[in-house]
Amino acid sequence: MPRTRPRRLITVFAVLVCLLLVGGGAFYFTGAYGSWRDERSLSAACKGLLSKEDARSVTRGSRIYAKQDHQFDFLFSEDDSSGRITNCALKDRDARSIVAVDIHWTSKARVTTQTLQFQLQQNIRTGTVPIGAGWPGSIASDDGQLFGIVELTCRNKQEESLLVTSRVLYLKADDENRAGLARFTTSTAKRAAERFGCDAPMGKVTGSVAPDPVRNQVPLGKAAGTCAPVVALTEGVKQAGTVSAGDAPSDPHTLAEGCYLTDAHGYQLYRLTASYGTLAENVRREAGEFAVTGDSGFDDKNHHGYGSAQCTDSPSARSTL
């Protein structure tokens, strides 16, 4: 009789252990543990600045997880003075899509902005359009990737801005995905500004984004956006063989814009671009690459030139041809 109670305790303990093992096994094998782990990694990614809803809309999947992966980080720099605040990579277990996110202070992001300026304006495969909805930013697309960029000028920090960039791989650059990336990039920028004390003007929720102008040409005479000034030069442009234009909407808040003039065979003849804000500061190339220095000039050998202008709400603007 004296041993009855210990036996009961042992029995109860054994039953509890079995229940825990069964419950834990069910939690693991039904996928609940994996979902919990993915959700936790997403919450912690990029210092918790990402909207889970917007992240899922841009990856087009529900099983998203985050990790530190420099393999997909085209802005990666080992330089401690790069101004980077945080970065992360989001992946989808049901799809190939990958999203790389970077957040920088622009005062120390010279190498970063040079990389962006090249990708958005000098890579002939990339077409750039405004994010829209009052946001100081742009969306660009290449054959197999999408880019989003927003620069928030901090009114309470002298000569300082927050630069938020996102890059998506293995996702079709259709209207829905372009709009999804715009929402994701702008919501991340808004959260970053709130977290790091950057008092900056914000836009509204983005609804749609213009299609890629490089792959959606219009007849030269119908250009009504960034290529509209070229229409006035139609005769001269036609003599050079131009028949169509990669036209994008004009937007006073965009960071980069372009007009792409194409011949009858689909080849780009001229590429006219303009950049603003921090990107404008990196248009000037080193003399070793282009024989152009100063605020304006033209290199006959490389058929490349640029000019500068002062703007009301931007330190400067750079136009390139």
pLDDT digits (tens, 9 = 90+) for 137-168: 999 988 778 999 999 999 999 889 999 999 99
Write down the pLDDT at residue 244.
92
Distance CA 47, CA 230 (A): 45
Q: How far is CA 110 from CA 91, 133, 317, 319, in A?
A: 28, 27, 17, 19
User: Where is mean pLDDT largest: 37-41, 167-171, 179-183, 270-274?
Assistant: 179-183
Residue from 260, 166, 160 nearest 216 by CA: 260
289: pLDDT strictly greater than 80? no
**The pair of three-digit structure tokens given for residue 42, joined into one six-digit string:** 């997403």
Write down the pLDDT at residue 43.
85
Distance CA 317, CA 261 (A): 21
Query: Do residues 142 and 128 make contact, with C-beta atoms less than 8 angstroms apart?
Result: no
**The pair of three-digit structure tokens given for residue 262, joined into one six-digit string:** 């194409």
Q: What percent of the chain has pLDDT over 90?
A: 28
- Lowest pLDDT segment from 29-38, 98-107, 180-189, 254-263: 29-38
15: pLDDT strictly greater than 50? yes
Write down the pLDDT at residue 285.
46
Find the mean pLDDT for residues 32-55.
83
Up-side HSE of residue 212: CA atoms within 13 Å toward CB? 22
User: Side chain identity at 301, as an amino acid letter?
Assistant: K
Write down the pLDDT at residue 22.
55
The CA-based angle 113-117-119, given to 5 degrees, is 115
How far from the centroid of its chain's Cα atoms is residue 140's Cα? Answer: 8
Residues ≥6 apart with Cβ < 8 Å to 67 = 41, 88, 89, 91
**The pair of three-digit structure tokens given for residue 131, joined into one six-digit string:** 């994010």
How far from the centroid of its chain's Cα atoms is residue 126's Cα? Answer: 13
**The pair of three-digit structure tokens given for residue 147, joined into one six-digit string:** 């880019």
4: pLDDT strictly greater than 70? no
**pTM, 2 dp:** 0.82
Write down the pLDDT at residue 81.
55
Query: Do residues 88 and 103 make contact, with C-beta atoms less than 8 angstroms apart?
Result: no
Place of tokens 């994010």: 131
Write down the pLDDT at residue 105.
92
Q: Indicate the helix (H) or strand (E) that contains 226.
A: none
The pLDDT tens digits for 227-266 are: 998 878 878 888 888 999 999 999 988 988 889 899 999 8
The pLDDT tens digits for 98-138 are: 899 999 998 887 777 777 777 776 677 888 999 999 999 99
199 band by pLDDT with thresholds 50, 70 and 90: very high
Find the mean pLDDT for residues 67-74.
63
27: pLDDT strictly greater than 70? no
57: pLDDT strictly greater than 60? yes
Query: Do residues 278 and 151 make contact, with C-beta atoms less than 8 angstroms apart?
Result: yes
Distance CA 214, CA 163 (A): 25
Q: Give, rounded to a whole angstrom, the gap between the first and last alpha carbons of the chain.
A: 98
Q: Indicate the helix (H) or strand (E) that contains 303.
A: none
Write down the pLDDT at residue 280.
79
Of residues 20 and 208, more confidence is placed in 208
Residue from 290, 246, 300 nearest 269 by CA: 246
**The pair of three-digit structure tokens given for residue 287, joined into one six-digit string:** 């003399």
